[in-house]
Amino acid sequence: MAKFRSLSIALIAMISGTISPTPQAFELPLFKAEAEERGYTLPEAIGLSFGYMNVSQGINVDSITLAGLGPLDDIGIKTKGGYQESQVITLKADVWVLPFLNFYAIGGKLDGYSETTISHVKLFPNLPGDGIEINEPFRLDLDGYTYGAGTVIAGGYESVFALVDASYTKTSLTVIDGEIDSIVISPRVGYDFSRNSDWPIRAWVGAQYQNIEQTLSGSINDLPLGGISLPDNAKFTVNQSLANKWNTLVGAQYEFTPNWVLISEIGFGQRKSFFMTLDARF
C-alpha cells in the first residue's frame, strides 16, 4: 500500500491528450515517466510480501444434510450459535500495471477451527415432538491451502489517499472434506505523513466486506449425537456462512526504504482480525 499519490494520473492525462497512447519504452507501471514528471512518487512496480492474519468471527449454520443412513437421511438436527477462528500465512506477488491499478496473486496455509452447538436431534422429523435435547459443542478442525487473486484501485490528492482492494480466494481443506470460497472488498482512506515530514508513515481507516461460504463434510459418528452409533459410511455435510459481513479497519504502514515496507492492520466489531505483512518491492 505504498505511495498512493495519484488519482487516475494516466487516465486523466490520456483524456487531455498530453500522453501518447504508445510509450517510447516499456516499463511498469505504464506511464511511469509521465507521472513522475508531474511530481508524483510511485512505488516500485513489482512486490513480493509475506503475511500473517488471525481472524475470529461468528458464523451461521445454514444447513446440515446427512447421507448413508437410508431412510434416516432426513434426521433433523438443530443448532444454535457458531464461532470460527483461523490463522493464515500468506505469500503474495503483485504488480502495478498503471499508476492507479494493481493486480496480485496470493497463496497461503490456513489453520483453525469452526464450532457450533447442536441443540436437538430428531430421528423421525415427521413425528411430533422436539427430539433429543443435546446442547453440546460440535467442533470441526480446519486445515488447508488457500489461493486466489485480486486487484487494487488507488488514488489520492496531496497527502490524502484512498483505495479499494477486492479479492477472491478459495481454500481446499485437508483434515476434513470441504472448501471455503471468499470474496473480500476493503475500501480505505488514509493520510501520508511522509509527504510533509520526515516520518515514513502512512495511516488509514476503512471497512471490510467478506462474503464467505464454506461447505464441510465428514463422518456422522464425529457428531455429538447423545451416544447414538451410526454406520461408518454415514456422512454429514454442513453449509456455513458469516454471521456479520462488515467490520471496521485501522492500519498503518512504515517504510524502512522504498524497497522494504512493513504493514499492520487491526479489525474491530463483530469480526476481529489482526494482519501484518512485510513487503519487498523491486
Q: Any idea which residue has 490456513 for its cell?
A: 110
User: Average per-residue pLDDT in the chain?
Assistant: 85
> So where are the chain's domains?
9-281
pLDDT of residue 269: 93
pLDDT of residue 223: 66
**Confidence class of residue 122 from pLDDT cuts 50, 70 and 90?**
confident
pLDDT of residue 124: 67
Give the model confidence (pLDDT) of 1-37 as tens digits: 434 343 333 333 332 334 444 445 568 899 888 877 8
pLDDT of residue 11: 35
What top-level class would CATH report for the domain 9-281? Answer: mainly beta
pLDDT of residue 150: 98
Average of pLDDT values for 169-185? 93
pTM, entire model = 0.83
Q: Residue 107 pLDDT more than 80?
A: yes
